Amino acid sequence: MRDGTRLRIAFIGLRGVPASEGGIERHVEELGARLADRGHDVTVYCRTNYVKERPATYRGMNLRYVPAIGTKHMDFIAHSAASSVLVLGRRPDIVHYHALGSGLVAPLPRYLSRSKIVLTVHGLDYARQKWTGMAKLALKAGEKLSARVPHATITVSQALADHYVTKLGRKADYIPNGMPVADIRPRGEATARLGLGDRPYFLFVGRLVPEKAPDLVINAFSRVAGDVRLLLAGSSGFTDAYAAGLREAAAADPRVIMPGGVYGAELSELFSNAAAFVNASSLEGLPITLLEAVAHRAPVIVSDIAPHVEVVGEDGAGHRVVPQGDVEALAAAMTETLAAQELARAGARVLSQSAASRYSWDAVTDATDAVYARVTGRPAEAPAPPQPSFLRLPLPLPEGLAPDNSLTAPSSATATAAADGTATVAISSSSPEGGLAGTASLRK
Identify whether 303 is part of a domain.
Answer: yes
Q: Is the dihedral of CA 19, 23, 26, 32 positive or negative?
A: negative
Average pLDDT for 106-115? 96
* Same domain flag for 230 and 246: yes
* Same domain flag for 322 and 431: no
* Same domain flag for 333 and 372: no
Burial class (CB in 10 A: 0-12, 13-18, 19+), 271: buried
Identify whether 186 is part of a domain.
Answer: no
Range of the domain at 435: 409-444
Largest CA distance in the chain: 79
* Same domain flag for 214 and 76: no
Average pLDDT for 326-353? 98
CATH number, domain with residue 44: 3.40.50.2000
The pLDDT score that the predictor gives to residue 407 is 33
* Same domain flag for 352 and 368: no
* Same domain flag for 351 and 365: no
* Same domain flag for 302 and 240: yes
Torsion of CA 165, 162, 148, 92, to 10 degrees: -140
* Same domain flag for 242 and 312: yes
Q: Which residue has the higher pLDDT, 237 or 257?
A: 257
**Number of C-beta neighbours around residue 74 at 10 A:** 13
Rounded to whole angstroms, the Cα distance separating 216 from 301 reads: 13
Residue 307 and residue 331 in contact, taking contact as beta carbons nearer than 8 Å = no
Backbone φ and ψ of 67, nearest 5°: -60, 150
Identify whether 284 is part of a domain.
Answer: yes
Residues 6+ apart with CB under 8 A from 6: 39, 40, 41
Q: Is the dihedral of CA 16, 18, 24, 27 positive or negative?
A: positive
Identify whether 425 is part of a domain.
Answer: yes
Q: What is the pLDDT of residues 201-233, one digit of tens each?
A: 999 999 899 999 999 999 999 999 999 999 999
- What total of structural domains would you count in the chain? 3
* Same domain flag for 150 and 245: no
Identify whether 184 is part of a domain.
Answer: no
Query: What pTM did the predictor assign?
Result: 0.80
Average pLDDT for 181-200? 95
Nearest Cα neighbor of 411 from 402, 398, 403, 421 is 402
* Same domain flag for 315 and 390: no
Identify whether 68 is part of a domain.
Answer: yes
* Same domain flag for 60 and 118: yes
* Same domain flag for 91 and 225: no
**In this model, does residue 377 exceed pLDDT 80?**
yes
**Percentage of the chain lying above the pLDDT 70 cut:** 81
Average pLDDT for 424-439? 38
The pLDDT score that the predictor gives to residue 131 is 62
Residues 6+ apart with CB under 8 A from 360: 178, 179, 388
Identify whether 183 is part of a domain.
Answer: no
Identify whether 422 is part of a domain.
Answer: yes
Rounded to whole angstroms, the Cα distance separating 251 from 206 reads: 19
**In this model, does residue 346 exceed pLDDT 90?**
yes
